[in-house]
Amino acid sequence: MTALAAPDTQAHRVRTAIETLRTRFGDRVCTTHSVREEHSHGEALDISRLPEAVIYAESTEDVSETLRVCHQHRVPVVAFGAGTSLEGHVTPPEHAISLDLSRMTKIIAVNTDDLDCRVQAGLTRQSLNANIRDQGLFFPVDPGGEATLGGMCATRASGTAAVRYGTMKENVLGLTVVLATGEIIRTGGRVRKSSTGYDLTALFVGSEGTLGVITEIQLRLYGLPETVSAAICQFTNLDDAVATTMQLVQIGLPISRVELLDEVQMGASIRYSRLENLKPLPTLFFEFAGAPDAVSEQVRTTETIALDNNASGFTWADTAEERSRLWKARHDAFWAAKSLAPGALVISTDCIVPISKLGVLIAGVRRDIDASGLQAALLGHVGDGNFHALLIAENSDDGRRRILELDRLIVGRAQSLGGSCSGEHGVGVGKQEFLETEHGDGALSLMRALKHTLDPDGILNPGKLLPAGRVYGREASLNS
């Protein structure tokens, strides 16, 4: 009598892969419901699915072995860091494994004289800065929250300091990446420029775990500034606040941060973060850094431009404690907005436009919000043209429909002004419908071809970043 072959189903393949990995990793393969639940979703976007198992990696070799086994059994793998992504990046597909890199927290090397370092992907930016501060160094990319540096690379993160220091794209010198087969490669290096070969580092930064799993990062570092000062400036009119920002950027003032909160967001933040002696008015948060004389000049120029645009004066935060409190309030803006309507659905837009179009975009978005009848707060890193509308509605099917309709209007406005649907949150599953308009069929088909070349079985974070469609040079479509 001939034994029947085991069924080649996705469920069977993932069970086989899990048992194989358990012999390698032991109790670092976790299938308990509570742990799987923690890895079933990120933040903001309301989608979740339990992975079949969570693998805790502690080295590049662990990641390589996991991907080798999953490639052999054609099992989907989703890399997981801190779970702070906003567009569904870490939500697994069916019968998938979540690969947790949060234990990979080593600082491998710090090169003080060359202003660079190499770290494992599970390290957070806060931990890095705490460890290098006594060497007079810091890493400036600041998206808020306890994001891991690997996750920040995967989503090409930005944040409040991008107007001066740039995004992850400008601050990553090289990577260690594990490909879908388990092969380990290194890209880039420690030099600040190179004219050799394709720029593979740039290819993987922003790829959202669809081309490979980032395990180590070579980062640019910066010297701690001699002087840092922060201020809040309030306006009676939102247009005046936007005009102030645009003029500061256009004259090339090397300001460290400039953040906008409209009157709705400011009212929420005053209550939530207990900001004293401030009014619910359109407000700019500033930070200036550098040599004392340079900071003084930046402050004088900023005050002159702001007052010419009808600002009502400045409130200063000169101590480290005051600055920390100020920026914590800015980073807590999402939670402050949620507190306006407890239990409500809150979705953040993430549009960016050329700085000269920012005023036009915000004015149009305000009209769209008023016409929708929904409550919304505006805020953003307006120094680089990136702003967010926090859209608030009843947590129901109708509320979700109304928010998504308004979101599409806002994105459409940004794209019509030469902008993008995402300045920093990434695509995940939440922004895929806008990519055809933004990139066109030809560019998207080439992206799908790159995906197919590096991950022919589609096991790396399938269903994210790229909408289904034509693959360059192939008749087939790719859903990845």
Paired tokens of 14? 């993932």
Distance CA 307, CA 284 (A): 13
Residues 6+ apart with CB under 8 A from 472: 442, 445, 446, 448, 449
Residue 475: pLDDT band by 50, 70, 90 thresholds?
A: low
CATH of 107-223, one of 3.30.465.10, 3.40.50.720, 3.30.110.40, 3.40.50.620: 3.30.465.10
Residue 362 has pLDDT above 60, yes or no: yes
Residue 5 has pLDDT above 70, yes or no: no
pLDDT per residue as tens digits for the range 89-115: 999 999 999 999 999 999 999 999 999
Percent of the chain topping pLDDT 90: 89
Which pLDDT value is given to residue 121? 98
**Region 413-417: what's the mean pLDDT?**
98
Distance CA 77, CA 455 (A): 11
Asked if 227-340 and 341-430 have one fold, the answer is yes
Length of the chain: 480
Distance CA 147, CA 177 (A): 19
Distance CA 336, CA 180 (A): 40
Q: Regarding the domain delimited by 20-100, which CATH topology (the fold level of the hierarchy) does it fall under?
A: 3.30.43
β-pairing, 97-100 vs 53-56, is parallel
pLDDT per residue as tens digits for the range 224-239: 999 999 999 999 999 9
Residue 4 has pLDDT above 80, yes or no: no
Q: Which of 126-130, 286-290, 315-319 has the lowest mean pLDDT?
A: 315-319
Going by the DSSP 8-state scheme, the letter that residue 359 receives in this structure is H
Residue 464 has pLDDT above 50, yes or no: yes
SS3 448: helix
Q: With contact defined as beta carbons under 8 Å apart, do 135 and 110 qualify?
A: yes
pLDDT per residue as tens digits for the range 249-259: 999 999 999 99
Instruction: State how far the alpha carbon of 423 is from the alpha carbons of 155, 159, 165, 207, 367, in Å.
Output: 10, 9, 15, 14, 22
Q: What is the CATH number of domain 341-430?
A: 3.30.70.2740
Indicate the average pLDDT of the chain. 94
Distance CA 157, CA 130 (A): 20
CATH of 227-340, one of 3.90.1200.10, 3.20.20.70, 3.40.718.10, 3.30.70.2190: 3.30.70.2190
Q: With contact defined as beta carbons under 8 Å apart, do 283 and 235 qualify?
A: yes
370 CB burial (10 A radius; 0-12, 13-18, 19+):
exposed
Domain ranges of the chain: 20-100, 107-223, 227-340, 341-430, 441-478
SS3 135: helix
Least Cα distance to 94 among 190, 213, 11 occurs for 11
First to last CA, the chain: 42
Q: Which of 290-294, 323-327, 422-426, 449-453 has the lowest mean pLDDT?
A: 323-327
Q: Strands, E, within 163-243: which ranges?
A: 172-178, 184-188, 213-220, 222-223, 227-234
pLDDT per residue as tens digits for the range 122-176: 999 999 999 999 999 999 999 988 899 999 999 999 999 999 999 999 999 999 9
- Give the H/E segment covering residue 368: helix 358-372
Instruction: Tell whether the torsion through CA atoms of 347, 351, 355 and 358 is positive or negative.
Output: negative
**Region 449-460: what's the mean pLDDT?**
97
pLDDT per residue as tens digits for the range 28-55: 999 999 999 999 999 877 789 999 999 9
Q: With contact defined as beta carbons under 8 Å apart, do 310 and 236 qualify?
A: yes
Which pLDDT value is given to residue 479? 52
Which pLDDT value is given to residue 284? 97
Paired tokens of 292? 């004392």
Residue 397 has pLDDT above 50, yes or no: yes
Paired tokens of 247? 């003029």
Which pLDDT value is given to residue 144? 83
C-alpha triplet 428, 158, 98: angle, nearest 5°: 40
In 42-58, which positions are buried (b, 16+ CB within 10 angstroms) versus exposed (e)?
Answer: bbbbeeebbbbbbbbbb
